[in-house]
Amino acid sequence: MAELDTASSPATDPEPSPGRRRQTGRAPRGAIDAGPVSRIALRTIAIGYVLALVALPVVMVTRKTFEDGLAPVLEVLRSPDFVSAAELTLWVALLAVALNTVFGLTISFLLVRFSFPGRRLLNALIDLPVSISPVVVGIALILVYGHTGWLGRGLEENGITIIFSTPAIVLATVIVALPLVVREVVPVLEEAGTEQDQAAESLGANAFQRFTRITLPTVKWALAYGVVLTLARSLGEFGAVRVVSGSVAGESQTLTLFVNDSYQEFGPSAERAAFTAAFVLMLVAVLFIVLIAWLRPNSHD
């Protein structure tokens, strides 16, 4: 009986769980107890902000795209310039996603699991593409790979053209989307630690087995979100691509450049083409976001 009284005394009672705190009506430590009026006001501001910046433009683009019916939209989708721009955008986006996925995983693993001189510098440089204007990225690529650039002259003498061609578009897209996979994967690797990896190594698992059976399943959802973000950014990149591509219809014009060039032309057909391409880009991005949001709750791992 003495042991039971001691175990149930307030001095030795463990910290109540969140569930017990909810049952007793006490708010978690550090929580702000906002009144009903404050909660309604905050929700109204948040919803209004999202509607004004996201939902309203989406609705307006959709309305302008289909205001003359479906037939003009289908006509734009079948036009040679649109098809060429869509194909180029798709290939560039797939290449950028593949490259950034491989190197993003490698860099994430390097930053989290290894200590080496220059680690902090590398960590800072990864965020550089999102800290500067994409136009600056395009200009930097011209200074390096252009006709008079550091590497461009030598490459052109050997028959390799980078600027104002597809390789320049790929390079620009890869650079601006570089941090997205890394910044999704690094926190998950840091939280996971190395205990499971060390245990598998002690049981005889080689590096490839540890990566495929431990590391990859651990970061799979972070990697999936990074890939989706990279794909969305690759599909919608404009500034850097505009500088290095030349935007030649049927050759080096992506969908974002197709939207810009069409909208700058005069006439209802050009405007319709711009809104149709913008709607396609918007629809693809939304579909991928919805897909990854739908898949994650079904995971039972």
**Tens of pLDDT, residues 182-199:** 998 999 988 887 788 778
What pLDDT digit, counting tens, does each position of 222-277 carry? 888 888 889 888 988 899 999 999 888 888 899 999 999 998 888 888 888 999 99
Alpha-carbon distance of 192 to 300, in angstroms, equals 18
Residue 59 within a domain: yes
| Same domain? 148 vs 53 | no
User: What is the CATH number for 117?
Assistant: 1.10.3720.10
Single-letter residue type at 70: L
**Exposure string (b/e) for 251-270, b if CB count within 10 Å is 16 or more?**
ebbbbbbbbbbbeeeeeeee
Return the SS3 of 67.
coil
Does pTM top 0.85 for this prediction?
no
Single-letter residue type at 250: G
- Could you list the beta-strand ranges (E) of the chain: none
Joined tokens for residue 266: 């005069």
Give the single-character DSSP code of 51.
I
Residue 22 within a domain: no
Alpha-carbon distance of 56 to 65, in angstroms, equals 14
Total residue length of the chain:
301
| Dihedral (Cα; 120, 122, 124, 129), 10-degree rounding | 180
Joined tokens for residue 94: 């797939």
| Same domain? 147 vs 180 | yes
Domain count, the chain: 2
| Same domain? 181 vs 271 | yes
Q: Write down which residue in 65, 86, 110 finishes a domain.
A: 65
What pLDDT digit, counting tens, does each position of 77-130 carry? 999 999 999 999 999 999 999 999 999 999 998 898 888 888 889 888 898 888
Domain range spanning residue 45?
A: 33-65
Q: What's the pLDDT score for residue 298?
A: 52
Output helix, strand, coil percentages for the chain, rounded to the nearest 5: 75, 0, 25
Q: Write down which residue in 24, 46, 65 finishes a domain.
A: 65
| Same domain? 115 vs 223 | yes
Residue 176 within a domain: yes
Arithmetic mean of pLDDT over the chain:
82
Quick one: pLDDT band at residue 24, thresholds 50, 70, 90? very low
| Same domain? 38 vs 95 | no
Return the SS3 of 163.
coil
Q: What's the pLDDT score for residue 33?
A: 54
